[in-house]
Every structure is written in C-alpha cells, then in structure tokens.
Structure 1
Amino acid sequence: MSEEKAKKGYSADSIQALEGMEHVRKRPSMYIGDVGVRGLHHLVYEVVDNSIDEALAGHCDTIHVTILEGDGIKVVDNGRGIPVDLHAKEGVSALEVVMTKIGAGGKFDKDSYKVSGGLHGVGVSCVNALSRHLEAVVHREGKVWKQEYERGKALYPVKEDGKADNNGTTVTFFPDPEIFDQLVYSYDTLASRMRELAYLNKGLTITLTDERETDEKGEFIKETFHSESGLSEFVRFLDDARESLIEEVIHVEGEKNGVPVEVAMIYNTSYSENLHSYVNNINTHEGGTHLSGFRRGLTNTLKKYAEDSGMLDKLKFEISGDDFREGLTAVVSVKVSEPQFEGQTKTKLGNREVTAPVSQAVSEMLTDYLEEHPKDARSIVQKVILAAQARHAARKAREMVQRKSVLTGTGLPGKLADCSSKDPAECEIYLVEGDSAGGTAKQGRDRMFQAIMPLRGKILNVEKAMQHKIFENEEIKNIYTALGVTVGTEEDERALNLDKLRYHKIIIMCDADVDGAHIETLILTFFFRHMRELVERGYVYIATPPLYQVKKGKKADYAWNDDQRDKLIMEYKGSGADSSVSVQRYKGLGEMNAEQLWETTMDPEYRTLRQVQIENDMTTDRTFSMLMGDDVPPRREFIEKNAKYANIDT
C-alpha cells in the first residue's frame, strides 16, 4: 500500500461502483442462487460477510445477528462503519452507493481489504434490491448516519441522526414477498453458518438471537459462537460423535508464498473421508486447487513415512491416495486476495498458485507430527494398510456387480418394475419399503414414466461398514444397478459415474412409522456417503404419504398432519349430520389400495415431494455421523431435542 493511500484509509474513494442493479429483481437467481429457502438465507450471509470482511481487516471483533418478528433480520457489527462522505464519481453518499449499486464495495479496492468473503462480490446491494424494506445505520467518527430503502430505492438522502460514541454498522432488512417463495428463517440453518464462521475466524464473537420464540424462562432463544483455537476446535466439533484414532488434532497455521494457510485434521475409526475446504470463509464444497494441495501434501508425506518405516513391505499391491484419507476429518482454510471460482455452482477454487503453498504447509506439519508422535504415526499407517486391503476387496466386489450387469443383458434387478420411457429427464423411480407396498405401488403407478423398486427390510448402515461390505449388500447392489450408476475411474476408485443414470427423480417412499423412518434414514445415509452427487444435483426426493383419512359416509379426505386432521373433523361435524366422524391413521403404505396411493402420493398433479438438499456440509456430515455412528449420548440428546417435530406412531 502506498504511503498516500495508507493515510487516506477507508473512505468514500475506497468504494467503486462497478455496475447498476436494475437486473437483480428480474433475475434474482443469477445473484443468490434461487428464490427458495437457500436464497432467503443467503441474504443473511451476504450482510454478515460485510461484517466478516471488517473482522478480516482487523477492525471488528463482534457481530450480532437477530431474527426479528415478521422474519426480518438485523445485523450489527463494531467495525469502522461504512463510509458516508460524498462519493466523487456517483455524486451521493458512499453509503448509498454501497447499498444501491451492484458490485459496489470496499472489497473491490485492494487497499481497503486484503481479502474478503461474500458471494463473489455480489454484496449488500443485492440484499437491498430483494428486500421490501431495508434500513442502514452507521456509527462513524462520532456521528450516527441513517438511510432507508424500499425494494432497493433510497427513500431519502443519507441523513445525520444523532451522536455516536462507537463505530459500526447496523443493517435491518425484510425480504420481499414478491421475490421469495417463503419468508420463514430457520434458526438452525443460521446457527450452523454462524458457528462455522466463528471457527473460521478465531477470536471473533458472533451472537444469534431469535425474537420469534422464547424459552421456558420467557427469554429469547440465543446462542453465542466464539472460538479461541479456530480450526482445531472445529475438527473436534465435527468429529465429536466418532471414535478418535489419534490423541491430538494435527494443526498448522501460517503464510506460505504469500498465501495464508490454516489446516486442522484428525483420524477416526470410521470408513468415510470428511474434508471441508474454505476460501475467504466461502465453503468450496466442490474443492479446488487448495484441496489438491492438501491431498498431495498428505499422500506424499504419509507414503514416504510408511515406506521408510518398512510397514508396507508385506503389502502386495500399491497404496492409493484414497487409502490415506479413510477415517480422516480435515478442514482446509486459505485466504486469497483475488479468488477465481469454477465448477457447476462456482464453489471450486481455480487459483493455481494456491496448490504449492498448501501442499508445503501440510507436508511440514505432518513430518513434524509423525516424528514427534511415533505411536500415532503407527496407528495411522496401520489404518492406511487396512483401507488399502478393504479397497482391494471392494474393487473385486464392485467388479462382480458391474460384470454381472453386462453378462445378464439389461442387468436390471428382477424386482424392478421399470417404466416404458427411456428419457432420464422424465423418468422417476420409487424406492419402496417392502414387497407388499411395492406391489400396491406397481398397480397404482403410471407405467410410462414411473418405475418401482421394492426394498426388503433395512439396508446396510454404511456409516459403520467397510466399502467391500457395501458392494456385497443385496439391496444396495440392486439400487446401483437399477439406477444405472457405476463407481470407479482410473483416477479415482470412488468416483461416481452418472453418464448412464436412468432416472432424474429418485423417490424414497417408506411407511409413516418408526421402522419406516429408520429405513428412510439408512437410505439417505447411503446416498450422502456414496452417491452424494445425486443429492447435489437435486435428483433425490422423499414421498409424503398422508397420515390420516377422515371419513363420513361416502365422503373422505386425507390429512398430512394433525392440524389438517382436526380441521377436517370440525368441517365434517359442522355439516349437520349426527354421525361420529371416523379417522383412519395410516401407519403403512400397504394400508392404502392402489388408487389411494396414486391419488395421494404418486400423482404428479397432487402429490407432495420433498427434495433432499444439503444446506450445510459441516452440519450434514456431523448429523449423519451422530445419528448412524456408534456414540450413543449425542444421538440421545438429538432425539430428545427434536422429538417434538416427529409425528410417528410405534
């Protein structure tokens, strides 16, 4: 930074307006991904990211996020406050430029922020454009400044509104019902992201308050997120439902070739790999060059140690990179001044200059750790050897499944009742619990585009199974072959090949009882751990059969929850007839005949399908390991906390 610019600091000249924002309201999905639940929550992240940028620059250590009555959001930080002086180019206050110009913000001026987060520079102006009302209040240089907006347009020029004895910015906004499908914020979703941000920015305090709900003491629901050790604590949190293989978290933090790198990792006794990567606090769930650097450093260093120790001498086949990552939980975080994003959802880092610094940092970290902890080092290498042996067995089991498909012509399971259409975009398959319900579904379906695949009993819990056991499980083999999905390429033995995927809707349909809920969870665990790309592409759904039939004489209606049931009962009783209304509780799909199953659960015109989405990688991974792993106390706590949401009869 030049001496002249350093003196100037963070002022109106630091704000650059790159382009107008007329397009945002017409094409909101281009800016925030979608106008559903995910896009709604992304508005909060954009505002919070502005405050995080102040924290990254060393000017903010506390952020308060509040969900207001009416589903508004208030974000308060103690940063420097957005500049309010006149913007030379635009002729209005810099605050108004930031709030009403897409792409405007200090993050585009390298002298104001070395690095910044946010959705690739979209900024708070996008939030303003998609809010029915937004208020910005700035405490700066001893004064309070204020401006309000409706759907992105300023209601009046920035005005002075009192004196201030502190600095900071407060943004309060209410999402626009003309834009969003629904306006209800999920406390748990926001809490997951705030927790994640606290781990990624150690020393920062973030509070989340929900003013829509009070606890038993009559106080608002509130949590405080703060981490002193950052990623080490993050990894412990992610892995708290798994059994650790080594005693300590392996951690490194520092700058390599000008790139700030932080890595934390630990090995556990599970068979899954859990890598989470971030660039400037953005979750890069498609990976990228930083993750490549991590894998290279890990594989090369561990392989050299294992070879030098002589522990690989008796192994008859080559160890692959996958083997070194089985049972590994790791978080990789880098800061990049000008990140380049690629991939289907623009969450894959493309900066090539990042690979070497991360690889070097991981290599140095591991070398030191292995030398200082020989017992842990031996445990890790033994785990790697077991993983290699299991992978070798899994390859044989997988080849048997895929060779059988080729030898038997179509290779489709005998239990599959396929559909006539061969266009995956219009075809859907129901994975149905039990042969009985499967038979009813086969009778009730539309044969043109609906396929039925009955599953017998409970499929394997893949969270606790080695890979070769998965390919030996009959029901899982049937799912692979029915979908037309294959596993394994020359580069990656666990890669999923969807080129011959036969259905773009995969619908899980289970009974509305405890067993049905368990089977649903087992199938979802399998998809998340081994067919995750299907979920990420939006191909996985859960059917919603009704819970009740309310009947009076020849008239009958269906209810999907207790409120609907009670409303129907009241309507029927109010019709004047003196008979007691009958209510049937459907526990199993088999209790409905084919016509009922079609009209309530399978008819595209009237059915309700719930699309399975991954809102937060970290939370989803932790939830599956907690629900399906060996550690009982966290599972019991989860069940007790969430029992009120269940509508399941035993």
Structure 2
Amino acid sequence: MTASAEPLYGADDLTHLEGLEAVRKRPGMYIGSTDSRGINHLFTEIVDNSTDEGVAGYASRIVVTLHADGSVQVDDDGRGIPTDKHAKSGLSGVELVLTKLHAGGKFGGSGYKTSGGLHGVGASAVNALSHRFDVTVRYGGKVHEMSFAHGVPGVFDGPSAKAKFTPQPGLRIAGKMKRGERTGTSIRYWHDARYFEKTAKLDIEAVRAKLRNTAFLVPGVTYVLRTASEDTIGEETFHFPNGLREMVDFLAPAGDKAVSDTLLITGEGTYKENAADANGVMKSNVERRAEIEVALRWGTGYERTVECFTNTIRNVHGGTHRRGFERGAVKALQEAISKTRGLLKAKEDLPVLDDVLEGMTAVIHVRLPEPQFTSQTKDELSTAGITRVIQGVVEKRLKAWTEDRKTKSEAKVVLQKIVDAGRVRIAQKHQKDAARRKTALEGAAMPPKLVDCRTTGISRSELFLVEGDSALGSARMARVSEYQALLPLRGKVLNVQKASLGDTLKNAEIASIVQVLGAGSGRTFDLSTMRYGRVIIMADADVDGSHIRTLLITLFAKYMRPVIEDGRLYAAMPPLHKILTKGRNPETHFTFTQREMEAKVTELEQAGKQVVKPVPRFKGLGEMDAEELWETTMNPATRSVRRITLDDVEAAESALELLMGEKVEPRRNWLVASAARVDQAAIDI
C-alpha cells in the first residue's frame, strides 16, 4: 500500500466524552468492575456519604432499605446536601454534586475534616448508571426534591423506575419540614442492568457486612438495614458503643481462646506531603494531622486477621497504614523479647513478622485529610507519610504494655507465644529444606500408587486426584502420560476443619497429596515449588463424590490456600448419562443432570431420532471406558471443569466453618432453615 493510499487519521476521529457520559462508557474505571462487586460499590458510594456526616458529628442514624423492586434507599439525619446555588456553576448544590464529576465538599474545604469520599465521583457515578435516581433533602426548614434519569434532571409521573420521565431542570420545593424533624438526605436509586453483567446483583450479605463494619468504626451512629418484600419488612440494627474492641471480638475465630485482653491503641501525629491548595497550585511540605485507632488481641490459634480502614472505608489490600502497624509491632515486641530473660535461648534468632501475627486479630483505623489510594475503589491506602505516624504510635504503646506492672505478666504470655511460633517456623523450614533435597526429580521415592507424568515443567502438567482405585484403570489408559499424572484416593479424606494439625499430618491420604505436590503445607507452603501446574479433583457425579470434593477443597483452603488463590485448583465434571440414538447415523450425547438428560431426549425425539431406552446412567467414573473418560472428563479440548476460587475469603471461611466445622448446632439450624429452598425437581433420583 502506498503512502497516499493509507487511511487518514484526523481530529474528527477523536472522541470527547463529556460529563457523566464517560461513566456510562467505561463504568469499570469509576466503580471497579461491572459484576456484582460493581453493583455493591454503588451502594457503598451512597452510604459512605452518609457515614461522612456521622463521622463529622452531624448524623446519628442511617437507614438502608432494600426495596422489593430492586431499588436501594439510604436515609440519614445529617445536615443535608446544600440546596443553595453554587456561584460559579449556577446550579444548586444538590444538582452540582449529583451530576458533575469531581464536585463535592471533600476537597480540603470546611465541609469535612476527614471523609471517605475524595474525588467527587461516587454519587454522580451512581446517578449516571441508574434508570432513576431520587433525592430528598431536608434543609433550611424546607423539603427539597429532585429526580434524574441516567443523570438528566427531570420529573417522573409515577413511583416506579418505568414511570414516564420528562426532563426538567432545577431543584423543587416539596413542602416545609415538620416541627421537630431533623435535617438530612434521602437517596433512592434503581441501577441500570444494561451496564452490568447479566448475573450481577446486589449481595445482601455484603451490604450487611458493610453496615456492621461501619457501625464498629463509628460508635456514635446507629445503622439500620431494612429488607422489604411484597408482604413483610425485615429490620436489623447495628450499633456498637465500644467500637473497635467489639469488632475484634466479632472477627476473632470461633472457639479461639484469647491469650490477651483486647488492647486499644489510640494516638495522633503529623506528616508532610506535597498537595494542591484551594486554587490547584501544588505546595510542598504541607502538614497533615492523622488520628490512629488500633485494637488487637492474640488467641491460642494460628489464624491471623488484620482488617484495615481509612476514614471508615475498608482497604481490602491494606496499604501504608498496615505496613506502619506491622513495623511498629515487630520492633516493639522484638525489643521486649530480647530484654526478657528466659524467652530466647543462646544464638536463637529473634521472631519475625509472621510469628508476631500468628493468632492475632487486629483492626487498624486511620483518619486523615485527603488520603491517597491506589484506585477509585480505595482497596489500598498509598499515603506514604502515615507509615511513620502509625509505626511510632503502635511501637510506643506496645512498649509501654510490655513494661507496665499491670500488664507485664499478660504481655509475657504473648511474647512466649511469639517465640514458640518462631521456633516452629524454623523447625518446619529445616524439615522442608531436607525434603527439597530429596524431591521426586532427584530420585526420592513417591507414593507407589502415584501414576506420574513424564514432563518436569508446570506449564502443562496436571495432577488428577482420582476417587477410588476402580476409576484409576480407565484413567490410566485415557490419560496423556506426557503431562497428566494420577493419584488415586481411597475413601474419604479426613475433615481437616474438625481435625487437629497432628491428626491431619498423620492421615495417609493427605500425607500422599502433600508429598506428591512437593510444596509443603500450612504456613510453610511454597507455591513456587509445586510440581504440577494444575490440580484437578476427579470424583463421581453423585452425593459421595460431592462430599469428597468438599473435603478436598477444605484441605486446600486450610493448608494449601495459595493453590486456590493462584487459580490452580479445579473440580472435574464427569457426566451422569450417556444418550445413544439408533439408525443409520447413530449419535452419542453426554449429560450432567437428570433435567438436562430429559430435555436432550425430548429434543432428539422431536427431531425424529430414536433414543435407546432406558438411558444408561454412570454409577461412577469406573463404569466409563477409557475413550469415554478421555472425551468427557480428561481431554482439555472437550472437558468441562470448575475452577475453585476464593473471591470472598470471609464468606468462604464462614461457609467452611458452618458446613465442615466442629459445631453441630449451627449446621443443623442452617439445614433446617434452608430446607424450603431445595428444588425437589432438581434432585437426582
């Protein structure tokens, strides 16, 4: 192609997205994603605005209502969004903050000392992605109302999102406030499903967790959750006057006996950073003041839970405040251990961060003006100066705790626990190092029942955990020996959610799995040394098979979690039925449920084909011949597998404890309460 024939690229090819149009074009940039997390984020943006009023001391009650029509309503008794006109834009304060990006009272002015909102994007982004958005403001003795459709102000002629909409600018006065009525803001929105994935929906448990967490963080505010259906309205209240102390007790693992009382650490400090002034001019060494609040305790167990918040916003991935907390805790406790006689033996190394965190439950909450985050969803705090501030506060308070006469004996118990954790860690490391020197690749003996593959890399290799010896024969003939390995398991493995660590390690089947994977277990698990790229659980498509899958998933979640976190654990989906047709051109179809089989038979018969009846049902993997097993379950090109994920770690851990834990009563109550939800037609008979 000659230069003259090349297509032209000019200014007319450029696109300028104005206002809220940019939000609708790329919603993920503003709310993080377009799946259920994005819909949950819409709710978070609105309730955080009300929470900011509570933090500032103006609101004492926030009510969230999940309506039967799918809309969400948030009411607060704060000051109310300003209704007077904004001099520069000519718009009311309400219309300005709900229709213009980067508009609000959280840019260093006098509106808020600290807040969760930073960019003035949250509420306007929710407005942009909503079929309908209603706001009512009680302010200045009057009740003001305004409605929007996808960010355009106007009037609806009915109460639903499908009501006729007429564009109309301006804020309307609906009446006067009643005597004794408090100021405040009420927002109700109907999100537009077109901007989200088909399966996306608001997670009520996530809403409940958000309100509960915020109630812990803001003790002076009461949160109410109302769930409305066509017939009833359920109501839950969250109010925790003891704040973070109660939150630590709530987050501590069930049955984990406390080694120490809950320690509350508070303080404040200053740091400097480069920041823009009210005119947008960048200034260096601007002094900021931060308030620190930390609550922590140690338990007898091994699990660690450290939750981080900035201005009541949960930071899932922690950030600079967590780093400061960890540095302060390690420094203070290492110093105390080295000074306390009898804790460390000669030439023993000081404990490290992992040892300090073992069995700890902690909540870190910092309040600071204009915090910086790594993304709009605020998952990680990046304000650099806060690290030094919180490190100093935590180090000073923990040092005093270890030296104070009243708490010295309690502190010594914790210090001994930390030292013991360090010794276990070092012993496990030595054991692991010894095992590495005798890996399978260097000639060490693997379990005799392992049918290994030839490849030594992990790019294609996969290990099938096969239910029973009967399926092993077909699987051995079906597999590709170059990259597919097989490990048969006899019966059901131990339920590790109930068993102790000692019993777990003694179990022969579990020991075989750990040995074959070659990456260790528990805190010493090293994903980089795992011998296979994927682990696939291959169990029968029946109740026993489901139980075995659950037990194995529990094992990986508790002792080899990085395999799940890295997306390398799968569950095979073997078929239940084999449908055959008679005639000149016979066909073979595999189905996975009774309902799917019946639908396929009906479809074939309506197409004029004769189906062999009764339709054969596989009682187990062992009934399939090698060709069938390869085609349906083991061939990467045709098989179906489920990837096991931990998208919501808290929910996963809660479900495992409920379904597989020691306590029978909560499980029985859950089964009784959930019985009505079972679809009888979906049960395989």
TM-score, reference length from structure 1: 0.79
Candidates 404, 408, 419, aligned match of 2:438: 404
Name the residue aligned to 1:339.
Answer: 371
CA distance in 1, matches of 2:196, 2:140: 37
Residues 432 and 240 of structure 1, relative CA distance in 2, 3 Å threshold: same
Cα drift, residue 324 of structure 1:
2.0
Residue 157 (str. 1) matches residue 169 (str. 2): yes
Name the residue aligned to 1:171.
Answer: 187
Name the residue aligned to 1:415.
Answer: 450
Q: Unmatched 5+ residue regions in structure 2?
A: 1-16, 154-166, 271-288
Name the residue aligned to 1:71.
Answer: 70
Name the residue aligned to 1:219.
Answer: 232
CA distance in 1, matches of 2:152, 2:672: 47
Match runs of 1:202-601 below 5 Å: 202-212=219-229, 219-239=232-252, 241-246=254-259, 248-257=261-270, 258-314=289-345, 317-321=348-352, 322-342=354-374, 347-370=379-402, 371=404, 372-405=406-439, 407-408=441-442, 415=450, 424=459, 431-437=465-471, 440=474, 496=526, 498=528, 503=533, 507-511=536-540, 516-529=545-558, 532=561, 535-536=564-565, 538=567, 540-545=569-574, 549=577, 588-590=620-622
Cα drift, residue 631 of structure 1:
4.9
Tell me the secondary structure at the aligned position of residue 437 of structure 2: helix
Residues 113 and 308 of structure 1, relative CA distance in 2, 3 Å threshold: same
Cα drift, residue 111 of structure 1:
2.5
Residues 648 and 570 of structure 1, relative CA distance in 2, 3 Å threshold: closer
Q: Which segment is superposed worse, 581-590 or 244-253? A: 581-590
Residue 62 (str. 1) matches residue 61 (str. 2): yes
Cα drift, residue 392 of structure 1:
1.9
Q: Is the 8 A contact 2:138 2:183 kept in 1?
A: yes
CA distance in 2, matches of 1:461, 1:406: 28
Cα drift, residue 219 of structure 1:
3.0
CA distance in 2, matches of 1:394, 1:629: 26
Name the residue aligned to 1:14.
Answer: none
Residues 436 and 279 of structure 1, relative CA distance in 2, 3 Å threshold: farther
Residues 567 and 259 of structure 1, relative CA distance in 2, 3 Å threshold: same
- Cα displacement string for residues 58-110 of structure 1 (whole angstroms, at most 9, x for unaligned residues): 22222222222343322222222222333333333332232223333322344
CA distance in 1, matches of 2:109, 2:471: 62
- What amino acid is aligned across from residue 329 of structure 1 in structure 2? T
Q: Which segment is superposed worse, 369-378 or 550-559? A: 550-559
Residues 179 and 259 of structure 1, relative CA distance in 2, 3 Å threshold: same
Q: Unmatched 5+ residue regions in structure 1?
A: 1-17
Name the residue aligned to 1:139.
Answer: 138
Q: Which segment is superposed worse, 521-530 or 155-164? A: 521-530
Name the residue aligned to 2:6.
Answer: none
Residues 619 and 276 of structure 1, relative CA distance in 2, 3 Å threshold: farther
Residues 211 and 523 of structure 1, relative CA distance in 2, 3 Å threshold: same
CA distance in 2, matches of 1:38, 1:419: 42
Residues 398 and 285 of structure 1, relative CA distance in 2, 3 Å threshold: farther
- What amino acid is aligned across from residue 150 of structure 1 in structure 2? A
Q: Is the 8 A contact 1:569 1:581 kept in 2?
A: no
Name the residue aligned to 1:13.
Answer: none
Q: Is the 8 A contact 1:301 1:367 kept in 2?
A: yes
CA distance in 2, matches of 1:60, 1:509: 55
Q: Is the 8 A contact 2:32 2:376 kept in 1?
A: no
Cα drift, residue 281 of structure 1:
2.8
Residues 139 and 392 of structure 1, relative CA distance in 2, 3 Å threshold: same
CA distance in 2, matches of 1:39, 1:411: 50
Name the residue aligned to 1:7.
Answer: none
Tell me the secondary structure at the aligned position of residue 348 of structure 1: coil
- What amino acid is aligned across from residue 199 of structure 1 in structure 2? F
- What amino acid is aligned across from residue 184 of structure 2 in structure 1? G
Tell me the secondary structure at the aligned position of residue 138 of structure 2: strand
Q: Is the 8 A contact 2:259 2:297 kept in 1?
A: yes
Name the residue aligned to 2:27.
Answer: 28
CA distance in 1, matches of 2:559, 2:18: 43
Tell me the secondary structure at the aligned position of residue 388 of structure 1: helix
Tell me the secondary structure at the aligned position of residue 195 of structure 2: coil
Residues 387 and 167 of structure 1, relative CA distance in 2, 3 Å threshold: same
Cα drift, residue 230 of structure 1:
1.7
- Cα displacement string for residues 544-573 of structure 1 (whole angstroms, at most 9, x for unaligned residues): 556x54979879977766766787799899
- What amino acid is aligned across from residue 427 of structure 2 in structure 1? A
Q: Is the 8 A contact 1:139 1:169 kept in 2?
A: yes
- Cα displacement string for residues 118-161 of structure 1 (whole angstroms, at most 9, x for unaligned residues): 59764122222222332233222232333333333334323315
Tell me the secondary structure at the aligned position of residue 178 of structure 1: helix
Name the residue aligned to 1:187.
Answer: 204
Q: Is the 8 A contact 1:394 1:467 kept in 2?
A: no
Residues 433 and 328 of structure 1, relative CA distance in 2, 3 Å threshold: farther
- Cα displacement string for residues 326-376 of structure 1 (whole angstroms, at most 9, x for unaligned residues): 111212121232323349996332323222332333334434544323453
Q: Is the 8 A contact 1:271 1:464 kept in 2?
A: no
Cα drift, residue 395 of structure 1:
0.5
Residues 356 and 72 of structure 1, relative CA distance in 2, 3 Å threshold: same
Tell me the secondary structure at the aligned position of residue 51 of structure 2: helix
Tell me the secondary structure at the aligned position of residue 237 of structure 2: strand
Higher RCO (CA < 8 A, seq sep 6+)? 1
Tell me the secondary structure at the aligned position of residue 51 of structure 1: helix
CA distance in 1, matches of 2:119, 2:511: 41
Q: Percent identity?
A: 37
Cα drift, residue 189 of structure 1:
2.8
Mark the structure with the bigger radius of gyration.
2
- What amino acid is aligned across from residue 415 of structure 1 in structure 2? L
CA distance in 1, matches of 2:435, 2:492: 20
Name the residue aligned to 2:48.
Answer: 49
Residues 395 and 449 of structure 1, relative CA distance in 2, 3 Å threshold: closer
CA RMSD of aligned residues (A): 4.6
Match runs of 1:2-21 below 5 Å: 20-21=19-20
CA distance in 1, matches of 2:423, 2:29: 46
CA distance in 2, matches of 1:365, 1:457: 53
Residue 197 (str. 1) matches residue 214 (str. 2): yes
